[in-house]
């Protein structure tokens, strides 16, 4: 077993820096961003063959706008040229993340996680101790949850009395579960008072497990939190968390109100990605603040031109200022965001954004005979079933009636037929386990799935 990566001294130094920057004026935040950007560009130029082709010999911060944006597929195709440490081999990383036994462990002194494949080819991301110290500090200082009796901080002993539940996709080395399990290994107390719960299991089982655990803090996706709120209203769940923290999907006002009222809790949103875990945090005024001292977001239009504040972007380019091992520079994230003009009433100089992201509804199908009502299915759980059991990442699932689904995949020929058979079998088993009535899945192989410049497609269509 390999220990999770954690450097206490780096974390302490990063925490002091984040605390200072949290109260800094815009000019000092800009200075921090500029110096870190120049450090990143120089490290990428020196250590990454991929970026050496794109950057000038002595890059400076002013060069950023002239750097050609990149997408995940391009970087993954040249993984060996992308990373600055030749010891990081993609085949070995794929082997490490192939099983679940090592989730939360380190790999050659790094933490590794995979993306879910929502942009086509799954990504593989590695973080060294310095990068993780920054992520940890941002989470501990800005993303913290204030409990009625003190500060919740899983990195210290301050979370005494809390019971934290993470409801997520646990069948893979995804960023959320890897980060959570890493913290449980680092902090013994947190490890004893926290637990993860798989969203793929039947909703009734999930509710029973959560109720038995009795969480005071729940971290999950907005759609999952909505389902739990509905079960609480129906009397099928009785939990009393004082905080629900959501991420991974956009949190709408209606969902926020339902979750808060049904569970009697405070609801807070966060915004992150595999490419940079803690992008933005929600302040007490309900605004998402970008951690601009460590990450740069550039809202752009369809032609990748800058979008002014107050206007919804077509996509957003992300630059990670913390990770020098796997440089992420002007990466087309694919999310739609709006940069808000002016400063937040909370007083922070960190910029405020609204995130449209990629919102999915909850799919509902009739319950099996004798049960009555319907069964609610999470888009993320359906996607995970298709990815992990069907081995398909480029797909679209459409509902065409209460008992009819259409699954379109890009795979063609013999491979396409085999992949479709796996997906149908996996979906049928999952639906049965959820207590759904038989649903017919119509398969279409060799499909051209429409995509924007971001490379992302609408994977779930309802009605």
Read off the pLDDT of residues 207-242 as tens digits, 9 standing for 90 and up: 999 999 999 999 998 888 988 998 999 999 999 999
Mean local confidence (pLDDT), 21-26: 93
Does residue 136 surpass a pLDDT of 60? yes
Percent of the chain scoring above 70 in pLDDT:
91
Nearest to 282 by CA among 254, 309, 256: 256
Alpha carbons 191 and 213: distance in angstroms, whole number: 14
Which residue shows structure tokens 């002014």? Answer: 308
CB 311 within 8 A of CB 333: no
Closest CA to 24 of 265, 289, 219: 289
> pTM of the entire structure?
0.82
Spatial contact of 16 and 27, defined as CB atoms under 8 Å apart: no
pLDDT at position 294, please? 98
pLDDT at 105 over 90: yes
What confidence tier does 116 reach under pLDDT thresholds 50, 70, 90? low
The partner residues of 112 in beta bridges, in order of sequence, read 126
Look at residue 58 and tell me whether its pLDDT is greater than 70. Answer: yes
Answer with the residue of higher pLDDT: 372 or 9.
9
- pLDDT value at residue 361: 60
2 pLDDT tier (thresholds 50, 70, 90): confident
Confidence band, pLDDT 50/70/90 cuts, at residue 160 = low
Do 409 and 447 contact (CB within 8 A), yes or no?
A: yes
The helix (H) or strand (E) run that includes residue 395 is strand 395-399
Buried b (16+ CB within 10 A) or exposed e, 334-349: bbbbbbeeeebeeebb
Distance CA 131, CA 328 (A): 12
- C-alpha pair distances (Å), 217 with each of 13, 126, 158, 178, 321: 28, 28, 14, 18, 30
Residue with the larger pLDDT of the pair 395 and 345: 345
- Confidence band, pLDDT 50/70/90 cuts, at residue 147: very low
Q: Which domains occur in the chain, in start order?
A: 8-355 (3.40.50.12780), 363-461 (3.30.300)
* Higher per-residue confidence, 185 vs 151: 185
Q: Find the largest Cα–Cα distance for the chain.
A: 71
Residue 388: what pLDDT?
80
Q: What is the pLDDT of residue 159?
A: 54
- Nearest CA to 185 among 6, 17, 311? 6
Least confident of 11-25, 249-263, 440-454: 440-454
When mean pLDDT is compared across 64-73, 337-346, 382-391, the lowest value belongs to 382-391
What pLDDT shows up at residue 8? Answer: 93
| Residue 170 or residue 394, greater confidence | 170
296-330 core/surface letters (b: 16 or more CB in 10 A; e: else): bbbbbeeebeebeeeeebbbbbbbbbbbbbbbbbb
- Least-confidence region, from 188-202, 378-392, 406-420: 378-392
Encode pLDDT of 42-55 as tens digits. Answer: 999 999 999 999 99
In the three-class reduction of DSSP (H, G, I as helix; E, B as strand; rest coil), residue 98 is classed as: coil
Whether residue 244 has pLDDT greater than 70: yes
With beta carbons less than 8 A apart as the criterion, state whether 426 and 390 touch.
yes
Q: What is the mean pLDDT of the chain?
A: 88
Model confidence band, residue 450 (pLDDT cutoffs 50, 70, 90):
low
CA torsion 423→424→428→429, rounded to 10°? -40
pLDDT at 199: 85
Q: What is the pLDDT of residue 106?
A: 94
Is the per-residue pLDDT at 83 higher than 80?
Answer: yes
pLDDT at 201: 86
Task: Using the predicted structure, report yes or no on whether residue 453 has a pLDDT greater than 70.
Answer: no
pLDDT at 376 over 90: no
- Which pLDDT score, from 0 to 100, does residue 356 have? 78
CA–CA distances in Å: residue 110 to residues 87, 183, 256, 432: 11, 14, 36, 39
Torsion on CA atoms 332, 182, 204, 226, rounded to nearest 10: -40
Contact 37, 320 (CB under 8 A): no
Residue 455: pLDDT band with limits 50, 70, 90: very low
**N-term to C-term CA, the chain:** 47
Average pLDDT over residues 114-139: 86
């Amino acid at each position: 077993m390999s220990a999770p990566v954690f450097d206490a001294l780096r974390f302490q130094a990063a925490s002091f820096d984040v605390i200072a920057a949290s109260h800094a004026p815009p000019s000092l935040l800009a200075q921090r961003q500029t110096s870190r950007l120049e450090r990143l560009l120089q490290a990428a130029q020196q250590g990454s063959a991929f970026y050496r082709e794109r950057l000038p010999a002595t890059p400076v911060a002013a060069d950023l706008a002239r750097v050609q944006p990149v997408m995940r597929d391009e970087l993954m195709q040249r993984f060996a040229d992308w990373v600055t440490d030749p010891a990081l081999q993609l085949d070995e990383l794929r082997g490490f993340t192939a099983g679940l036994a090592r989730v939360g462990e380190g790999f050659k002194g790094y933490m590794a996680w995979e993306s879910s494949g929502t942009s086509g080819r799954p990504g593989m991301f590695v973080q060294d101790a310095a990068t993780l110290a920054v992520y940890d500090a941002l989470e501990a200082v800005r993303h913290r949850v204030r409990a009625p009796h003190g500060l919740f901080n899983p990195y210290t002993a301050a979370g005494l009395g809390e019971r934290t539940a993470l409801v997520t996709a646990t069948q893979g080395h995804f960023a959320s579960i890897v980060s959570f399990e890493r913290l449980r290994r680092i902090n013994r107390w947190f490890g004893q008072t926290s637990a993860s719960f798989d969203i793929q299991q039947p909703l009734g089982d999930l509710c029973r497990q959560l109720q038995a655990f009795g969480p005071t803090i729940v971290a999950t996706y907005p759609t999952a939190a909505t389902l739990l709120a509905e079960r609480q209203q129906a009397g099928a769940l009785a939990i009393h968390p004082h905080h629900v923290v959501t991420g991974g999907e956009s949190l709408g006002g209606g969902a926020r109100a339902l979750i808060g009222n049904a569970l009697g809790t405070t609801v807070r949103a966060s915004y992150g990605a595999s490419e940079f875990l803690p992008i933005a945090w929600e302040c007490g005024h309900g605004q998402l603040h970008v951690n601009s001292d460590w990450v740069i977001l550039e809202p752009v239009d369809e032609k990748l031109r800058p979008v002014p504040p107050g206007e919804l972007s077509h996509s957003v380019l992300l630059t990670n200022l913390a990770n020098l091992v796997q440089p992420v520079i002007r990466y087309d994230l694919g999310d739609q965001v709006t940069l808000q003009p002016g400063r937040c009433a909370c007083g922070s100089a960190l910029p405020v954004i609204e995130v449209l992201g990629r919102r999915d509804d909850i799919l509902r199908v009739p319950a099996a005979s004798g049960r009555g009502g319907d069964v609610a299915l999470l888009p993320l759980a359906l996607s995970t079933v298709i990815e992990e059991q069907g081995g398909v990442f480029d797909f679209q699932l459409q509902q065409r009636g209460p008992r009819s689904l259409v699954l379109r995949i890009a795979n063609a020929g013999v491979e396409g037929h085999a992949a479709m058979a796996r997906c149908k079998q996996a979906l049928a088993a999952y639906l049965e386990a959820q207590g759904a009535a038989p649903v017919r899945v119509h398969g279409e192989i060799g499909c051209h799935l429409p995509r924007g410049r971001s490379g992302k497609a609408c994977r779930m269509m309802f009605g």
